Each structure stands twice: as C-alpha cells, then as structure tokens.
Amino acid sequence: MKRALEQALPPALTLILVVCLWEGGVRLLGVPAFLVPPPSAVASSIVKERTLLLSALGTTSEGALSGFALSLCLGTLGGIVLSLSRRLERGVYPYTIFLQTVPIVAIAPLLVLWFGTGLRAVAVSAFIVSVFPVVANTLSGLKSVDPRLTDLFRLYGASKLALLLKLRLPSAVGSMTTGWRVA
Amino acid sequence: MRHEFEGGTRVIDSLDLSVEAGSFVALVGPSGCGKSTLLRLVSGLEAPTAGTVSVVPAAVSSTATNAESDGKRVAFVFQDAHLLPWRTALDNVALPLELQGVAREEARRRARAPLRDVELDDALERYPDQLSGGMRMRVSIARALVTEPDLLRLDEPFAALDELSRQRLDERLRALWARRRMTVLFVTHALSEALFLSERVLVLSKRPARIVLDHAVQLPAARPLALRSELAFVEQSALLYRALEAHGGLDEARA
C-alpha cells in the first residue's frame, strides 16, 4: 500500500502542477477559450456533453476492437499462408512493408467516403493500421525457427502440417504477440 | 564420396568409409574439417556432390539411401540439446514417435523407458529451462533413443559441458551402447573422449577432409572412468595426437 502510494505520488504531483500552470497561464494572459481552453472549461463541457461523448466513445471502441480482432485473424492467417510458399512471400511481402508506411490520416477521408462516418470506417481504419504488423511478425516468427529443429522434424519424417503445428507456430508465439502489441 | 559447399569449397575429398553394424566409431579432426558435414550426409540431411551414402540395416538386405524415408533407423544428437522449450522432458522425448504417427498417450508411455536409461525418471514433467545443461543433453539422448534406432549419430554432443559432466555422460553412453548395440557415429574433437567411447577412431585431416588414421581401439570392453590414466590409454591417445598433428590438425590451436 505504502509502496503503491510512493509510486503514484510523483506522476500525480506532475499532473497537478501542469494543470495549475495551464489554468493560471490562460487566466493571467487572458487567452480566448477558442484558442486554448482552460482545464476547468474542458472539465465542465465533459460533464455537460457526457451522453454524446460516451456514445461516441462506445462507437470508437467498438469499431477499433472489431477492426483489431479482424486483423488478428486475417493477419495471422496471411502470415501463415505467406510462410508456406517462398514465391508468394517474395511477391507479396515487399508490399505489406510498403503499405505499413502509409499514414492512416492520408487515407482517412477516402475511408469516410467509402464507409460513411460511423462504426465501419473506424473498424476499417483500425484494421488497416493493425493488420500489417500482425502479418509481418507472424511471418518473421514462423521463419526464425531453429534450423536444427527443422532438421530434427525432417529426420523423423514430419509432415508439413506437423511442422507447422508442432514446431513453427509454437516457436512463433513470442514474435506474434509482439506483433499484436505493436498493432 | 566427395562433397562441396555451394560456391565450390571442397569439404570432403575422396572419402571411402564403411562402418560395421553394431560398432561404435568416433570421428576426430580439427574444427571446421567437415566432421559435422559428414554426419549430415550420412543422415540424409544433405546429398553428396559425388558418390553415394548407403545405410544398410543389419536385418534388411536392401539399401536405404534416403534416411528420411525410414525414420525408425535414424537418430541424431546435435551439439546442443535443441529441445522444444514449451514441452516437458517426457513430451520432448515422445516427439519423434508422435511425428511418426504414434498416438500421443502411447508415445508418452513409450518415452518413459529411454528417460529411465539416462536416469531422468524423476524429471519427466520438468521443462527444459528447469533442467541443467547436462540433464538437457540427457533428454536429448533419450529423444534419440526412443525410436530404438539402428544408427545413432552424435555431433559433439557434450562439447558445451564441464569436464566432469562430460565424463559421466561418456560413461552412460558407453553403457547404453553395450546394452543396445546400435551402430554409433560419434563426432568429437576430444581425443580422450573418442578413445574412451569407441571401438574404432578415425582421424580426419583438415579441410578437405580425408581419413589419415583408422585406428582399432585396443581397450577392454568394460571401461571404468579410471581407464583414462592407464598406460594403454595414454599410449593410444599419443598415437592419435601425432596423427592429428602430422596433418595440420593442430595448426589452428597454435595460431
């Protein structure tokens, strides 16, 4: 209990200090609220508009979560498929790297045009942002299996499926969860 | 047989070797001379550039050239244990059987015997990171024995262990071989280990590898650890040492 308090105290103090400076600075300098609203104004409008804000938060979270879930399924599947054929990997992988660098802000207007402003646009942008790290990390995890262990499986005549289920997927778990965190 | 790496480096040069079924053969040579490559060729993990590798099991007269086609007869122990970290000792040993299509419970049942052979019956449900280096190596040996192979290949299996663990494992391996009489190919760079374990020691030259000495070991079948300090052992050790030295095997150590 005492330790928890000790850990929480310094960041709490920083927060209080920053909020006080912000409030005091805005009042002292007389900055109009539409340029820099003081923390008190932000807090009061949160309370006033709480129904609208809560429902918007709900939509965004729902969209983000479903987009993320979809990217986990399709991304992992995509990584597995790419790992099965070297040609396919060479043909497709460079583009997944390239697409990963496209900023979502740049395509957001298009997504709104295609899917409207609601849940679906949010889900699709969450999916686009998160699917590439999932594919990339699944693939690299599947490929970075200890070659001696692959030899071992070959020696005992393991099928491609057994190699995938008993060796490559379990070895890739660490790398895959890293991908999920990044996503 | 001859073998080159991609890019034309010749690793093995006109090597002609036949090994009697049921014998224990040690291969020694300078590091990087091609010993491990030779084992990979014998195991069918690589194909030789020229020549053939044939594995003729004692009971069968036909020649099985591809080791992969007959998983029962091959077993390989690597330089490190190479266990699956997410499987217990017992499940690691059961793995080769599972890969050959044996049901999981049956595989686990059959995996107990080889673990008993390496004196690990009290560590069945432990994971690799809960075992010492020597214990992991013993699990690795049990995994190789579980399919009751006719041919066991070991590639410097105890190189990473301390001297004492290594000598105890040598003793265990020798006892296992005496009981089961499978053919063993043992690659090592330790001359005394080669001598202690085997019936025949082949000394290889530096790359490209060829056999410079084929020595039939003259030591009693029962080999206690103290044998290493006896005259016959020391004399034969010196013989191997001279052969290795005469063919550049010690150049690297000097440099």
| Nearest alpha carbon to residue A36 among A51, A50, A21 | A21
Whether the CB of A162 is below 8 Å from some CB of chain B: the reply is yes
DSSP code per residue over B117-130: HTT-GGGTT--GGG
Query: What is the number of alpha carbons within 13 Å of residue B187 lying toward its C-beta?
Result: 22
Angle at B193 between CA B192 and CA B199, to 5 degrees: 95
Predicted pLDDT at B56 = 55
For residue A165, the chain B residue with the least C-alpha distance is B99
Tokens of A80: 């597995």
Whether the CB of B46 is below 8 Å from some CB of chain A: the reply is no
Distance from CA of B193 to the nearest CA of A (A): 24
Write the residue in B67, B82, B99 that is nearest to A158 by C-beta.
Answer: B99
Taking the complete model, does pTM exceed 0.90, yes or no?
no
Whether the CB of B64 is below 8 Å from some CB of chain A: the reply is no
Contacts of B71 in chain A (CB under 8 A): 155-157
Query: How many angstroms separate the Cα of B73 from the Cα of each of A37, A133, B176?
Result: 79, 43, 17
Predicted pLDDT at B2 = 63
Q: What are B186's strand-pairing partners? A: B26, B154
Which residues fall within 8 angstroms of residue B79, CB to CB, at 6 or more apart? B36, B155, B156, B157, B159, B160
Write the residue in B78, B84, B99 that is nearest to A156 by C-beta.
Answer: B99
For residue B75, the chain A residue with the least C-alpha distance is A155
Cβ atoms < 10 Å from Cβ of B247: 19
Which residues fall within 8 angstroms of residue B170, CB to CB, at 6 or more apart? B158, B193, B196, B197
* Rounded mean pLDDT for each run of 10 residues along chain A, 183 residues in total: 83 92 88 84 88 87 89 90 86 83 82 83 86 88 86 83 86 84 79
| Phi, psi values for residue B77, rounded to 5° | -115, 125
Predicted pLDDT at B58 = 40
Which of A 99-118 lie inside 8 A of B, CB atoms?
none
Sign for the pseudo-dihedral over CA of A72, A78, A82, A88: negative
Whether the CB of B92 is below 8 Å from some CB of chain A: the reply is no
pLDDT by 10s per residue, chain B, length 255:
666 665 556 666 666 777 778 889 998 887 777 777 777 777 777 777 777 666 655 433 333 344 444 444 778 888 888 899 999 999 999 999 998 888 899 999 999 998 988 888 888 899 999 998 889 999 999 999 898 888 888 988 888 788 888 888 888 889 888 888 888 999 988 888 899 999 999 888 877 777 888 888 888 888 888 888 888 888 888 898 888 888 766 655 544
Q: Let me know: does B57 contact B216? Beta carbons within 8 Å.
A: no
For residue A163, the chain B residue with the least C-alpha distance is B99
Cβ atoms < 10 Å from Cβ of A112: 16
Distance from CA of B109 to the nearest CA of A (A): 19
How would you classify the pairing of strands B183-188 and B24-28?
A: parallel
Cα separation, A140 vs B165, in Å, equals 37
ipTM tops 0.85: no
Pairs across A and B, CB distance < 8 A: 44
Q: Is B11 helix (H, G, I), strand (E, B) or coil?
A: strand
